[in-house]
Structure 1
Amino acid sequence: MTVRFSADWRLHGLRALVLENRQLRVTVLPELGGKIWSIVSKRHDREMLWHHPRMAPRPAHYGATYDNWFSGGWDEVFPNDYPVTIDGEPYPDHGEVWSLPMTWHVLEATDDAVSVALEHRGIAIPTRFRKVLTLEADEPHLRLRYEIANEGHQPLKVHWKLHPALPIAAGARLHLPVERVIVDEDFSGSFAQAAFRWPHAPMQGGGDRDMRWLPDPDTGDTWFLYGVQLHAGYCAVSYPEERVGFGVSFDPDVLTSVWIFGTFGGWRNLSTIILEPCTGYPARLDQAIQQGSVLTLEPRATLSTTVVASVLDGEDAMTAFEDQGGVR
């Protein structure tokens, strides 16, 4: 099968861009910050991204409360997470990209590949956020090329974070190449320590939890963690019972931490795990600036980097993904 592209679809009243090859069908919503709404593995007849069971995607507005529009899929978080004021300028909840329309155009549409560019221009700060999605024939990989530019005259200290939400299933596993994990101070929950060495977390009441095995979807737990000291640029969730996994590969010199938000029937009675490679930590940008763990965009400079989202077919593919440090 060749690669196909269509801009003729609507999803809950929103324009939907569809990229499709023999392995994957990808749906993008440019009116919602270029949200990747769906990545379907055709081989497994399976949606790889999580969707909110009670909330469909709908138009948002600048400054909207992110949690009340969080319908699932894969959002872009830039230039901050928690709402914050930096140099007198208020930055909205989870940044300004996710809530606003992106312009888009097709760069390539051939039998071999489809490439679509989406772009957002900053409101609070003078930035240009551009991503190019490329789907090649017969590949189980979606490639994303990012360009994040500071078009102003002063340096900008920012967070940029990927935000793919994935489903939880019994026996699911979390794959992280990190040395240490820091527990967000607002989500200490049943963790006994503020930080621990991956993958064993001391728990209140005694004993350790092997964090590589995710809780079942109805345990009532909620996690918010920062994985730091990466020794490779990837993160993944696998579903051994279904013999499939989903991995994200990136440059660890750019995305230097992996945040994990997991709710297992806890927060809002939802069950999802969000893999969040980020340019720094913690979530509060002002604190991250103080500790020097942010992305600094110099005046008139552009950050360019590539991310690869992969559907992993079986245990052998998951093992190879880890052994090779992701997909390049």
Structure 2
Amino acid sequence: MMHSKYKNKDSIVMENAGIRAEFLPDPGGKMVSLINKKTGYEYLLQRENERYRDQPFDGVFVEGECAGFDDMFPTIDVCEYENEPWKNIKMADHGEVWSLPWNYQFKDDSLHMSVNGARFPYTLEKKICFTGEDSIRMYYTLTNNSAFDFEFLWAGHLMINIEEGTRVIVPDDCKQAITILTNGNGKFGDLRDWPNFRDMDGNTYRADISRPENVKGFEKYYFNNKLADGWCGLEYPGNKNKLTIAFPVDTVPYLGILMNEKGWDNLYNIIIEPCTICYDRPDVAKKHGQVSKVKAFGKYNWYINLTI
């Protein structure tokens, strides 16, 4: 591990024989780069701006850097907390932790990072270490520092580079998808058979394979089931690169996908979102019978493992 610079920000680089990973303690404790050293491929979306696009706390996520791998917690969409003693307190856009500075320290060949809540009494920690020449893992611990249960949404917001023909691979039980955002054929809450979607002209296309840039597609959905196995994979054309994302289904049981074929912000990328609940906000998820919570003075644990 070593200190470095990412654009104008102080960063930390972790490197082994196969992977170079880079993190920003401030803001967000986020992973900004993940490079396959054998092929030179950068998996995480990079912006062309020379200076990092900062946003203040409670700012607008998409007006910030909006790249790399952010933690979305305790919501994605802006909403209000529903339960006492925090009833009607605003939950910030894309959550709190992406815009906050994280503390960090090096310990036992691992990077330890942590952040305390701004409007809610929690501590979110992650321990980052290599689990092999081709894999890196982030162990998360959420601690509730209050005498009341705390309901939340956590999603890993991995903005990943793709090429035309990149294939999304998911477990066999992922058969139906719930539409969240689309510029195609559908509306919020629509249930669709995956991977055969329809575009605005009514033509069927494969949602698991990235299309040419000129289609200007934009589609976000969640799979309509708790996963039996916690993983999602990307296979790139020519089989030179591959990325597998793994997570524990007992605490992170859902998976979201956003395929962006230059339909938003002229970007060509995919967002993979392992998550504790769907629908982008805890109150809406609760209406659909989905709740994730950490008990009073309790802890909630999960991990994300990235294998190249």
User: What do residues 259-292 of structure 1 show as CA deviations (whole Å, max 9, x unaligned)?
Assistant: 1122211112221110001101101322112223
Structure 2 contact 144–294 (Cα < 8 Å) conserved: yes
Q: Using a 3 Å threshold, how does the CA distance of structure 1 residues 33 and 51 change in structure 2: closer, same or farther?
A: same
- Distance in 2 (CA, whole Å) between partners of 1:289 and 1:44 is 43
Which of 158, 166, 180 aligns to 1:164? It is 158
Contact 1:168 1:217 in 2 (8 A): no
Cα deviation code 1:171-195 (max 9, x no counterpart) = 11111221321111x4262249921
* C-alpha distance 188-231 of structure 1, shift in aligned 2 (>3 A): farther
Cα distance in 1 for partners of 2:275, 2:167 equals 21
Instruction: Write the distance in 1 (CA, Å) between the matches of 2:79 and 2:153.
Output: 12
What is residue 208 of structure 1 aligned with on the other side?
204
Q: Is the 8 A contact 2:177 2:224 kept in 1?
A: yes
Aligned residue runs from structure 1 range 1-16, under 5 A: 5-7=1-3, 9-16=4-11
Task: Report the Cα distance in structure 2 between the residues aligned to 1:154 and 1:48, rounded to whole angstroms.
Answer: 40
Measure, in 1, the Cα distance between the counterparts of 2:112 and 2:55.
21
2:214 and 2:305 map into 1 onto residues whose CA distance is 31
Q: In 2, are the aligned partners of 1:217 and 1:271 still within 8 Å (CA)?
A: yes
Matched residue SS, 1:71? coil
In terms of mean alpha carbon deviation, does 281-290 or 114-123 score higher?
281-290
Query: Contact 1:32/1:101 (CA < 8 Å) preserved in 2?
Result: yes
Letter in 1 for 2:255: V
Kindly indicate whether the alpha-carbon contact (under 8 Å) linking 1:12 and 1:58 is maintained by their aligned counterparts in 2: no
**What residue identity is the alignment partner of 1:268?**
D
1:80 maps to which of 72, 75, 78: 75
TM-score, normalization: structure 2? 0.91
- Could you say what secondary structure the match of 2:48 adopts? coil
Q: Which residue does 2:29 correspond to in 1? A: 34
Task: Measure the CA separation in 2 of the matches of 1:294 and 1:188.
Answer: 28
Q: Which whole-Å CA distance do the structure 2 matches of 1:253 and 1:215 have between them?
A: 33
Partner-residue secondary structure (3-state), 1:67: helix
Moved more, 274-283 or 64-73: 64-73
Say if 2:98 is the partner of 1:101: no
C-alpha RMSD over aligned residues: 1.8
In the alignment, does 2:241 pair up with 1:247? no
Match of 1:49 among 37, 44, 47: 44
2-side partners of 1:264 and 1:207: how far apart?
17
Q: CA deviation at 1:18?
A: 0.6
- The 1:197/1:56 distance shift into structure 2, 3 A limit, reads farther
SS in 2 for 1:134: strand
Aligned AA for 1:142?
Answer: I
1: CA distance between counterparts of 2:18 and 2:101?
28
Distance 1:21 1:155 in 2: 40
Aligned-pair identity in percent equals 23
Task: Please tell me whether the aligned partners of residues 228 and 256 of structure 1 are also in contact (alpha carbons under 8 angstroms).
Answer: no
Task: Tell me the amino acid that sits aligned with residue 105 of structure 2.
Answer: H
Distance 2:147 2:175 in 1: 37
Give the deviation of 1:162 after TM superposition. Answer: 0.3
Q: Give the 3-state SS of the residue equivalent to 1:309 in structure 2.
A: strand
Q: How many residues align?
A: 299
For residues 204 and 125 of structure 2, what CA distance do their matches in structure 1 show?
Answer: 42
Unaligned stretches of 5+ residues in structure 2: 82-86
Structure 2 match to 1:316: none
1:242 shift after superposition: 4.8
**2: CA distance between counterparts of 1:58 and 1:263?**
21
Q: CA deviation at 1:54?
A: 4.6
Q: Which residue of 1 is the match for residue 84 of structure 2?
A: none
Is the 1:56–1:71 contact (alpha carbons within 8 Å) kept by the matching residues of 2? no
1:218-257 to 2 correspondences below 5 Å? 218-229=214-225, 230-257=227-254
Partner of 1:120: 115
Secondary structure at the counterpart of residue 243 of structure 2: strand
Letter aligned with residue 27 of structure 2: L
* 1:303 and 2:300 matched: yes
Equivalent AA in structure 1 for residue 240 of structure 2 = R
1:246 deviation in Å?
Answer: 1.2
Residue 307 of structure 1 aligns to which amino acid in structure 2? I
Are the equivalent residues in 1 in contact too, given 2:183–2:263 (CA < 8 A)? Answer: no
Please tell me whether residue 187 in structure 1 is matched to residue 182 in structure 2: yes
Between stretches 278-287 and 21-30, larger displacement belongs to 278-287
Shift of 1:202: 4.1
Q: Is the 8 A contact 2:222 2:256 kept in 1?
A: yes
Task: Give the partner amino acid of 2:299.
Answer: T
| Structure 1 residue 125 displacement after superposition | 0.7
